[in-house]
Structure 1
Amino acid sequence: MLDTLGKLPFVVSYFYDVLIFSKSWEEHLEHIEKTLSALREAGFTVKPSKTIVGCEHVNFLGHIIGKGQLKPDENKTEKIRNLRVPTTKKEVRSVLGLLNYYRRFVHNFSAIAQPLTELTKKSSPNKIVWTTECQESWDAIKKCLTSEPILKVPDPSKPFVVQTDASNKAIAGTLLQQHEGTLHPCFYASRTLKDRERNYAIIELEMLAIIFALDKFSKYLLMKPFLIQTDHAPLSFLKENKSKNARLTRWALAIQEYLFSVQHIKGSNNILSDTLSRMT
């Protein structure tokens, strides 16, 4: 399907699921015609009963997409709301698989989910021990995913803002854009720290979070000017590359291909900082 529709910029396809997006009704009709022509030439057929045309919102791959917004499918969030507490390592893995699919909607998912992730390690028993920390993690993730989490669909024509933060457990980044004078999140990303990274200094962890975020969001950021907002003032050296720390210097050089500027903000203005601080 990718070979057939991959050259059409207004089409997103995943196996046999095809999504056509347009700015107007006239444009939509034109896009549909071009898509059907491409499918017909490739020998594919379309079943009318499986087709929806001209919708403002559509359910696509477990997400509700429309009017510049993205949120989880309500049927999926209801399933998450009704999940029972897992009792075995296998059940934890299965549950985390579902929760991971929607991690982009959760502030610092990796840090919040860490107590559950620990239960899946090879050294953990198959019959798990459910602690208070596990329950708090479980409740926090379910609350995040069942309280109407909404992301803005990235608009390539508008500048992006990247916010990052770090703790002694995880690093995280958020891709944001201005909409009607307010910054709105487009994407959340996070991961837990590796063992060797837990020995890093604070400034190194903050820099690692920036490296991680730029890599995650690179397809939106490369070749475009954007702003990095951080609540760690010493990171203002990024553009000047004046650090005497070899690791920081190496990382600073690695991101010089990006067209960014750095802005120091108060922790209270960083949408990630409260979540991270609560998880330390």
Structure 2
Amino acid sequence: MALVELEELKEEIEELLEKGFIRPSTSPWGAPVLFVKKKDGSMRLCIDYCQLNRVVFVGHVISGDGVMPDPSKVKAVMEWRIPENETEVRSFLGLAGYYRRFVEGFSIIADPLTKLLWKGLRIDELNYPMHDLELAAIVHALKIWRHYLFGEEFQIFTDHKSLKYILTQKELNLRQRRWIELLKDYDCTIDYHLGKANVVADASSRKSSGTLANLGSHNLILLLEMRSMNTKLEVDQMVGLLAALQLKPDFVDQIKEAQTRDPFLLRMLERMK
């Protein structure tokens, strides 16, 4: 600030203090001061209090008109890319839900995304034994895909071994008997499949960024690094194969034995001697 402006500011402040229009304050907040040059060459002090009436606080704009969401945050929500996995859906709902008070019917709008994250059970299902929970999953799937499965012969694979014999068991509780009646409407068989051998289900539970197909098509840098470590990656339409070459003791011995018969290496050895 120029010396002339500083002197004018001092005089204006002293005059305002004497008239009682302002009082001394230690607050870090202040009003912008603007000097306008008049025709006679003197300076006129202009104090702008507009910014004091509008404050951005924790993602909200507080002003005389009320509380509004920060426009920059709203822009981030509008430009958010489409979520591709559970983590991204939860992250988006967390950001958008912070401003739910400003969106009428937010819970109804976000309900489809919220259901994607729902993993809970009903209150009565919380008391089900594990055997009944596994059977309930089969019944639930049959109800959803009834229009595809009814009248067709198909197999049901489960990693819960006891369900393989559910159709031949004699001692059943009332809940199981009711569900067995539903199973009899379908031409199906229940077979046991080891959980850790269920590659298809295991792959579908992984994030899209970590699947073999995604590595082969998008993350080329990581793919090249894997190849430099003698790791081979092959991706088919249904399955993927990730293999690594490991040197075992017997394999190392085979290499040493083959080197003793290699003509090129023998000539190199003679030159070194």
| TM-score by shorter chain over 0.5 | no
Q: Give 1 or 2 for the bigger CA radius of gyration.
A: 2
Tell me the TM-score normalised to structure 2 length: 0.36
Which structure has the highest strand share of the two? 1
Which structure has the highest helix share of the two? 2
Tell me the TM-score normalised to structure 1 length: 0.35
More contact order relative to length (CA 8 Å, sep ≥ 6): 1
